[in-house]
A and B are shown apart, each in its own frame.
Chain A
């Protein structure tokens, strides 16, 4: 009886969710067609759909997407390489952990987006400043999680492996790495997501190209329907990247 009850209420919950989305869409549609909200502020959803189809069919998004993804790839490569290396080196000594971990966590709590104007001064408006910001922001969760992963491996495993005659490499490959990997993977996922967000953000604030730049460009041209289409596209890209890295994390944990 209980099982059927929960299944019924789960079905009802899905229904509520679907209704919520439908009501939202209907309100949006009515607001643009019946209630006279200016199409400059809120475009007709049908028009947005057409624009989205046009954007996808014409392939106009490809150069912007390529720039954004290239920036993301470079930033993530830099931050994961430096974060894992530094995190591993620091984690070899409890003393170094106690010196550096609070320092890194302290810097991480400052909104690093404040460095963006500085990076624009150093690296200009092009992709370099976005890569620098993405690298800086994603470096912190990666290095902190690497320290947490390698630094707090149960000593018993290390001692046991050593007493059975494990070499440095064997200790690393068969004891430290498997123990630390889940935590590091979480750090990498978090780093990837914040890198994506900060790159989109810095493209929005000041840039010459990229998805964020395209959205701002359309906003300034008051081409709101196309802008909504691009927003939907960017959100979809971010969501699929999110799903992919979460899946990779789950796969890597096993």
Chain B
């Protein structure tokens, strides 16, 4: 009540309020800016909490973590461990895509093999592979081989499942009309199945990348005598949260970049269908 009379009688106050309202309206239209504000607030809270409330043995502020990334890199063996992890991720991803694609096509292209093998694939996909991680280490050792194998075991199933689903979802009328116009098997594959598979192929690659990241990182963390797992264990035992957070951020950045590449590819190559 009082506000309204003030608004009508004082032009300055009215201008000030309309600015505030305009700002609010502007922010409402740009949730991205507010989102950045939320992220910044969280970082400030983290900084304040780490500086004043939490024992420095357990948490260190983001400013110090960012500064520490250089010293993480300078720790003997860390650059090599990161490089090996990246290499494991790349190999595991390529292997998952190739195996997943081949098996997915072999299973998906015929109705009979789909009915026979799809339940087996889904069963394997549904089992918690983490329980057999020690077996992978037993068979493949603590080097890159076990991590690649474990990454592949997490990556191939989502790829296979999406490829099979993609092949299955092709409208039968397209296949029938291609065949009735005299297309050969190869021509049907090249000009009907292949273009229709591309969106699901990239969707599968994105899920596969998530799986490969999970598998490789699980195996890396599990083996505490070499690679990333050695350093996370070392930093934890030394109560060195600064370096631990630095190393974790580097790995998270690696994961984000890889995810983003695959996601962009999916958006890019899935576009023809929407148009």
Residue contact B221 to A235, C-beta cutoff 8 Å: no
Across the interface, which residues of A come within 8 angstroms of B31, CB to CB? 95, 98-99
Say whether B251 faces chain A, with CB atoms less than 8 Å apart.
yes
Most chain A beta-carbon contacts within 10 A, residue among B138, B139, B224: B138
Report the contact-size class of chain A (Cβ under 8 Å from the partner).
35 or more
Across the interface, which residues of A come within 8 angstroms of B233, CB to CB? 117, 206
A16's nearest neighbour on chain B, judged by CB, is: B116
Across the interface, which residues of B come within 8 angstroms of A200, CB to CB? 128, 130-131
Across the interface, which residues of B come within 8 angstroms of A16, CB to CB? 116-117
Find residues 88-126 in chain B having any chain A CB closer than 8 Å to their own CB: 111-112, 115-117, 119-120, 126
Residue contact A9 to B112, C-beta cutoff 8 Å: yes
For A219, give its contact among B135, B241, B256 (CB under 8 Å): B135
Residue contact A122 to B58, C-beta cutoff 8 Å: yes
Across the interface, which residues of A come within 8 angstroms of B115, CB to CB? 9-10, 13
Docked pose: A227 CA to B248 CA in angstroms: 31
Say whether B177 faces chain A, with CB atoms less than 8 Å apart.
no
Chain A window 200-218, contacts with chain B (Cβ cutoff 8 Å), 1 for yes, 0 for no: 1100111000011001100
Say whether B244 faces chain A, with CB atoms less than 8 Å apart.
yes
> Given A13-B112, A117-B232, A122-B58 in contact, is the A224-B138 Cβ separation under 8 Å?
yes
Across the interface, which residues of B come within 8 angstroms of A110, CB to CB? 252, 255-256
Docked pose: A33 CA to B116 CA in angstroms: 30
Say whether B149 faces chain A, with CB atoms less than 8 Å apart.
no
Docked pose: A95 CA to B217 CA in angstroms: 36
Residue contact A239 to B127, C-beta cutoff 8 Å: yes
Docked pose: A200 CA to B222 CA in angstroms: 12
Say whether B145 faces chain A, with CB atoms less than 8 Å apart.
no
Chain B window 209-242, contacts with chain A (Cβ cutoff 8 Å), 1 for yes, 0 for no: 0100110011001101000010011011001010
Find residues 1-44 in chain A having any chain B CB closer than 8 Å to their own CB: 9-10, 12-13, 16-17, 20, 41
Q: How far is the CB of B157 from chain A (nearest CB, A)?
A: 13
Across the interface, which residues of A come within 8 angstroms of B128, CB to CB? 196-197, 200, 234-235, 238
Across the interface, which residues of A come within 8 angstroms of B131, CB to CB? 200, 204, 211-212, 215, 231, 234-235, 238
Docked pose: A189 CA to B28 CA in angstroms: 34
> Given A110-B256, A113-B217 in contact, is the A118-B130 Cβ separation under 8 Å?
no
> Given A200-B128, A212-B130 in contact, is the A41-B138 Cβ separation under 8 Å?
yes
For A117, give its contact among B116, B120, B130, B244 (CB under 8 Å): B244
Residue contact A215 to B134, C-beta cutoff 8 Å: yes
Across the interface, which residues of B come within 8 angstroms of A234, CB to CB? 128, 131
Across the interface, which residues of A come within 8 angstroms of B127, CB to CB? 235, 238-239
Say whether B84 faces chain A, with CB atoms less than 8 Å apart.
no
Docked pose: A118 CA to B243 CA in angstroms: 11
Say whether B168 faces chain A, with CB atoms less than 8 Å apart.
no
Q: How far is the CB of B181 from chain A (nearest CB, A)?
A: 25
Docked pose: A99 CA to B28 CA in angstroms: 9
For B137, give its contact among A98, A196, A219, A242 (CB under 8 Å): A219
Q: How far is the CB of B189 from chain A (nearest CB, A)?
A: 23
Docked pose: A100 CA to B236 CA in angstroms: 32
Say whether B74 faces chain A, with CB atoms less than 8 Å apart.
no
Docked pose: A211 CA to B128 CA in angstroms: 12
Residue contact A113 to B218, C-beta cutoff 8 Å: yes
> Given A99-B38, A201-B218, A205-B222 in contact, is the A120-B120 Cβ separation under 8 Å?
no
A198's nearest neighbour on chain B, judged by CB, is: B130
Docked pose: A172 CA to B269 CA in angstroms: 42
Given contacts A12-B112, A120-B236, A121-B58, 17 further A-B contacts (CB under 8 A): A17-B117, A17-B120, A20-B116, A41-B138, A95-B34, A111-B210, A114-B248, A200-B130, A201-B130, A201-B133, A219-B138, A227-B135, A231-B135, A235-B127, A235-B128, A235-B131, A238-B127
Q: Could you jot down 10 A-B contacts, CB within 8 Å? A: A16-B117, A100-B38, A113-B217, A114-B255, A118-B245, A121-B244, A201-B130, A211-B131, A219-B134, A220-B134
| B interface residues with partner A (beta carbon < 8 Å) | 28, 31, 34-35, 38-39, 58-59, 111-112, 115-117, 119-120, 126-128, 130-135, 137-139, 210, 213-214, 217-218, 221-222, 224, 229, 232-233, 235-236, 239, 241, 244-245, 248, 251-252, 255-256, 259
4 cross-chain pairs, A with B, having the tightest CB-CB distances, nearest first: A219-B134, A117-B232, A98-B31, A16-B116
